Structure 1
Amino acid sequence: MVTALPTTSTSAVSTASPVSVEPVPPFASLEKKLIDRYAASIPTKWGEHVPGVQTQLATKERVIALTFDACGGTVGSGYDEKLIDYLIKENIPATLFMNAKWIGANPDIFATLAANPLFEIENHGTEHRPLSVTGKPAYGIAGTKNVADVIHEVKDNADGIEKLTGRRPLFFRSGTAFYDEVATSVVHDLGFEIAGYNVLGDAGATYNTEQVYKALIKAQSGSIVLAHMNHPEKDTAEGVIKAIPELRREGFRFVQLAAVAHP
């Protein structure tokens, strides 16, 4: 609140009404700063393993991070109950990357999973788009088209998850897991880490049972496994169920991403 100063007269005081000054919201200020910072940046890299993407846990312990994407929208808003029930029955921690569209289609399931300490809820984007500052597509899906688009693809779903759970996500994974290196820098500036993978567990839920199994048993100490929980009609659950006992016999245990990255 700014009050008008007295006039130059010593016998009178200005009666002008106070002038309200609207504060600039902190996020609007940050958004402008990031847009300005990267305005002239031209990406030269594109893919799943670009700078800024964490593909493995920083540990030599025999641990594996199982991560499952829930994509939503045209790429599937189903729920693989068989997979999740198995993880619960076997007391296996996992990290679930959830897209805003999937959450919107499955509010009750989301609430149940978010309340289960076995599961770490992380951010799979607002529109399930590849993260680009030039609109570059991946697998036929158009990417975010500029820095502002990148910001809202990440932040809007993070805000939604935080509102529903009381916990702000720590990690982000884009739709298709594709990025350019300018976009990954923006994500880090927003305060999030980017979770890639070094074990492709089900190739977008296209693998059959045997393919999922063979992919998972190749996991090493610190591996991050990427699979999907939004296609119950596919074979992901069967492959995971077949692989887990063998991995346990080899001495592996399963951890959430945050348990290692943010102990």
Structure 2
Amino acid sequence: MAGRFLFFLVAVLAAVPARADLITRLPTEERVVALTFDACEAGQKVSFDHGILDYLVSRKIPFTVFASGRFVETNFAEVQALSALDFVDIENHSWNHPNTMNRFSPEAVLDQVGRAHNAIVTATGRQPQFFRFPAGNFNDEGLKAVESLGYHVVHWRWASGDPDRHQTANALVNRAAANVQPGDVLIFHINGRGVHTAEALPRIVEQLEADGYRFVLLSDYI
């Protein structure tokens, strides 16, 4: 199956011209932001941070999860249930989150995207349309390869830094207050790597709502 899919990807790559556009914000000046959460699994099995997930779902706040294929397979039932919610999108974050995809050949990039794509489709029944490179590392050929498949590559304008254990909840809240602009794509982690994210997120949301922001899906604007 993986080989046939890779053949299909290579065929598409040869046929479709690339946009080579890296998206770091939504194309709007409205007071909206997109909450995105990386859910990566490289080796050891990990699960959703329910301090984050339960808050978002209980508030019905739109959010996008960039999940690795391995994470999807490990957390299949939860991913499947989340994908049924109309305020959640599950998108592609590679198969096993290699942090050095900037050194990968286009063919190796295609393999990572294709395997994760298959896992997401199997769990959700829908085609992912957005991709995020692990650690934000990519090269021009890899970017073109991904975009030639019809994917939009979405990163961020500024990083929350939530995997840093030295970033307290207060620091995360203050960082958001100092940096958020209309159309921003915010990045956090929902796989247990965001040490203080569950504590900070409700305060960030309340702060942005008080400032007149609303939360949207990437697919609402891209």
TM-score bracket relative to the smaller structure: 0.7 to 0.9
Amino-acid identity (%): 27
One-letter code aligned to 1:84: L
Contact 1:131 1:180 in 2 (8 A): no
User: Secondary structure of the residue that 1:184 maps to in structure 2?
Assistant: helix
- TM-score (norm: length of structure 2): 0.87
Residue 122 of structure 2 is matched in structure 1 by 163
Assess, with a 3 A threshold, how the Cα gap between structure 1 residues 255 and 91 changes in structure 2: closer, same or farther. Answer: same
After the TM superposition, which of the residue ranges 122-131 and 244-253 deviates more from structure 2? 122-131
Unpaired runs of 5+ residues, structure 1, are: 1-24, 38-50, 136-144
Q: What is the CA-CA distance between 1:99 and the residue it aligns to?
A: 0.6
Q: How far apart in 2 are the matches of 1:93 and 1:247? A: 14
Residue 98 of structure 2 is matched in structure 1 by 129
1:31 pairs with 2:10: yes
After the TM superposition, which of the residue ranges 207-216 and 240-249 deviates more from structure 2? 207-216
Q: How far apart in 1 are the matches of 2:78 and 2:192? A: 15
Q: How far apart in 1 are the matches of 2:126 and 2:11? A: 26
Structure showing greater relative contact order (alpha-carbon pairs closer than 8 Å, 6 or more residues apart):
2
Find 1:104's aligned residue among 53, 70, 73.
73
Contact 1:199 1:215 in 2 (8 A): no
Assess, with a 3 A threshold, how the Cα gap between structure 1 residues 197 and 128 changes in structure 2: closer, same or farther. Answer: same
After the TM superposition, which of the residue ranges 193-202 and 92-101 deviates more from structure 2? 193-202
- Which has more helix, going by share of residues? 2
One-letter code aligned to 1:215: R
Q: How far apart in 2 are the matches of 1:94 and 1:33? A: 29
CA-based RMSD of the aligned residues comes to 2.4
Residue 200 of structure 1 is matched in structure 2 by 159
One-letter code aligned to 2:175: A
Contact 2:43 2:96 in 1 (8 A): no
Find 1:59's aligned residue among 28, 33, 52.
28
Q: Deviations over 1:45-64 (max 9, x none)?
A: xxxxxx62100100010000
1:86 pairs with 2:55: yes
User: Secondary structure of the residue that 1:73 maps to in structure 2?
Assistant: coil
After the TM superposition, which of the residue ranges 95-104 and 105-114 deviates more from structure 2? 105-114
1:223 pairs with 2:202: no
